[in-house]
Amino acid sequence: MNRLDVDALLDNPETRVLVCCGSGGVGKTTTAAALAVRAAERGRRAVVLTIDPARRLAQSLGLGELDNQPRRVDVEGFKGELHAMMLDMRRTFDDMVWQHAGRERAEQILANPFYQTISTSFSGTQEYMAMEKLGQLVERDEWDLVVVDTPPSRSALDFLDAPQRLSTVLDGKLIRMLSAPARAGGRGIRKIVGAGFGLFTKAVSTIVGGQLLHDASTFVQAFDSMFGGFRQRAQATYELLRSPGTGFLVVAAAEPDALREASYFVERLSAERMPLTGLVANRTHPVLAPLPAPGALAAADRLERTGDAPLAAAVLRVHADRVAVADREKRLLARFTRAHPGVPLIGVPALPTDVHDLDGLHEIGRRLAGE
């Protein structure tokens, strides 16, 4: 197995951006925060962008308030600095609109019901805004390492596709049609679709309501002016993700689903020629006592028959359970490694309790580094 050397990665001044990705529930946010803590301990000026941290973890990083800006976390004994922020996607989107549209136009856009949908519940907006914020943090050039968490997407790949999806939807032919002046557009469309289109608009407006189509059309017209700027930024962020200073860490639990998703991710990153740094196999349960399970179980059986030493019997059962879990995890990780032999991997032994303070993050950082 090719071991991932986290300290070498964090100590390398060329490492400027680390993106933690993976499916939901695998501990991405905690991993991202622990990496930033470890980097700061070791002398980097690090900032971590978290997406949706657990409340107590957020509080431990001083992220009580949602102001969409990084805050310095004061910790004694760190050689470097630690900053942390939590993404406010609506606010990030609003800021983008203010920046790219004129004042009057921006107000018009922000008030449109379509904008409300897109900026709060369109699937992909959170991913898009996370990437936008990442771009902004890198641009500010105040940190020498940016660690970013990615949203708990249905698919771990969504954030790569999000800017593209949003612009496909907003920039598609249908939108062109809706936003084109009625007369000119009408003719063109009739040519393409024939009478079906009349039926379609009728159907759509019956279903979604005429007002909605009207809102859609004004929204797109207002939005149109900003598209150039948006596309440019999305392109710049995409290039940043492909640049040599960026590394992707795929976080997975040693579970079939999470590893399947991780495999998929590894393949996709390679197809996009994005720099994959390694796999973090999170929350593993390595065996701490070198004692074969069959012998332990046989002894537990003997003890339970006599009832002499219930504690020792329980300790042996705990051990046998642990061996079974560890074997399964090893098997699953070996299968992943066979499929992706070139991907460095580090197993991070599970903490027996929940992590919600800096001490916990420090401990996970140590485990990430294999200490």
Partner 1 sequence: MNGWTDELTRARLHVVTGKGGTGKTTVAAALALALATGGRRVLLVEVENRQGIAQLFDRPPLPYSEERIASAPGGGEVRALAVDPEAALLEYLAMFYNLGFAGRTLKKMGAIEFATTLAPGLRDVLLTGKVKECVRRAGKTGRHEYDAVVLDAPPTGRVVRFLDVTRAMADLAKVGPIKGQSEGVVNLLHSGDTAVHLVALLEEMPVRETLDAVAELDAADLRPGAVFVNRVSPPRLPARSVASASEGRVDAGRIRAGLQAGGLDVEEEVLDGLVEQTVEHALRVRMEQRAKEKLAEADLPTVELPELTDGVDVAALYELAEVLVGRGVR
In the region spanning residues 249 to 288, those forming contacts with partner 1, defined by CB under 8 A, are 253, 255-258, 260, 287-288
Positions 57 through 96 that interact with partner 1 (CB under 8 A): none
Which of 9, 15, 23, 226 is in the footprint of partner 1 by CB under 8 A? 23
Distance CA 197, CA 189 (A): 7
CB of 329 to partner 1, least distance (A): 10
- Asked whether the CA dihedral 191, 193, 196, 202 is positive or negative, the reply is negative
Positions 227 through 246 that interact with partner 1 (CB under 8 A): none
Distance CA 348, CA 369 (A): 9
CB of 246 to partner 1, least distance (A): 26
- Is residue 281 within a helix (H) or strand (E), and if so which, with residue range? strand 276-284
Which of 66, 111, 199, 339 is in the footprint of partner 1 by CB under 8 A? 199
Q: Which of 236, 5, 6, 12 is nearest to 145 (CA)?
A: 12
Of 49 and 162, CB closest to partner 1? 162
Tell me: does residue 333 bind partner 1 (CB under 8 A). Answer: no
Is residue 245 exposed (0-12), middle (13-18) or buried (19+ Cβ within 10 Å)?
Answer: middle
- Is residue 137 within a helix (H) or strand (E), and if so which, with residue range? helix 125-140
Positions 98 through 157 that interact with partner 1 (CB under 8 A): 113-114, 116-118, 121-123, 152, 154-155
- String of contacts with partner 1 for each residue 208-227, x by CB under 8 A: xx--x---x-----------
CB of 11 to partner 1, least distance (A): 30
Give the range of 4-12, 59-67, 85-93, 300-308 binding partner 1 by CB under 8 A: 300-308
Distance CA 14, CA 333 (A): 29
Positions 303 through 332 that interact with partner 1 (CB under 8 A): 303, 306, 308-319, 321-322, 324-325, 328, 332
Of 39 and 296, CB closest to partner 1? 296
Give the range of 65-73, 197-205, 272-280, 357-365 binding partner 1 by CB under 8 A: 197-205
What is the number of residues in the chain? 371
Distances (CA, A) of 242 to 5, 125, 196, 229, 260: 21, 21, 43, 20, 23
Asked if residue 125 lies in contact with residue 119, where contact means CB atoms within 8 angstroms, the answer is yes
Encode 285-328 in three state secondary structure. CCCCCCCCHHHHHHHHHHHHHHCCCHHHHHHHHHHHHHHHHHHH
Of 228 and 292, CB closest to partner 1? 292
- String of contacts with partner 1 for each residue 351-370, x by CB under 8 A: -xxx----------------
